[in-house]
Structure 1
Amino acid sequence: MNLQEVAVWVDGLFPGEVTIDLVGDFHVANFHDDGQFIASTLDFQHVETGLEAEDHDIRVELFAVASSEKGLKELVSATAAMLRDTDIIPQPGEVVPGAGALVPGLSVAHSLLVVPFPWGGDVPHFKDAGIMTLMLQILPLTDAELEYLQTYGLAELQRALVEQQIDVFNLQR
């Protein structure tokens, strides 16, 4: 898919009017709707993941949701750049350590990649010329949350975040 095709696809996934910025090495679509901000890569799908399914190469676009736009698109772009430049496979459960630390003003220093939750379990995808592009959500983590994840695992982290009513959309928590 070219940039325009991805932009149209991503625009149909999220509410609000879209704006597109070049942030670092990646184009990022930005949405604002009812106090919620969303940023999504538009050209990360050109980065090979090494994953395959249903005779398709699997690629991803990354997105994050926040209660403020401050640092959001930069976090998404930094996470994409670190994934491109490391051997971390962009798939649910992987951590991109230090991605948030590259963005001034954020207290969430890390990016945890998770199955997207805005669509209730259905993961939007697009198939084109032997490539399946999926959406993958970034859940920003603080140092303490990353330590908890590494100690107790993902299921326990998710339980603790809910139990302690942690606002995972607050990038300055």
Structure 2
Amino acid sequence: MPATTSRLVYRQPLPGDVQRLFAIFGDSQTNLFNPAGPMPSLSAAQHLLDHWIAQWATHGYGWWAIAHRQAPEHIIGFGGIAPFNYLTQPRINLGYRFAVEAWGQGYATELARDALALAFDTLGLPEVFGLVRPDHAASIRVLEKVGMQPFGVLDDVPGKATSRVMRVCCPTT
């Protein structure tokens, strides 16, 4: 069942989302800070979507398909929390990717806050991490706004600058 906020709708990804996933992840603008560049093919989008659907089936949570509340059929991005390996270290990772049309409206910060509420308030997770390229100032600001602090670096892209690892721990009550 989708979750609805005052502005956004979050729902599990569905098999029919593959075209929109490819449109967003295959866009060169949405990949300016992605060393791998845009997603190369619809089959790569299908593989990623299948992975997300499997994570939902296994863990009961994962990346959401995100839409405006006024247009719930039009996906503007994907994001949330999901298990992710930082090389060989398993982490719960906060991530997102929005279509260019959705940039600059605070959706990434809103999504990040809602994903952390799920992580801490509903799932009772102890900590959540964010992995960000060192020159991606906008994403670094989003992670800082939701309370993430520098945790370290990760040499995850051979021949490129190390990624910044950010972390936030569950607030104590």
Mark yes or no: TM-score above 0.5: no
Kindly indicate which of the two structures has a greater share of residues assigned to helix: 2
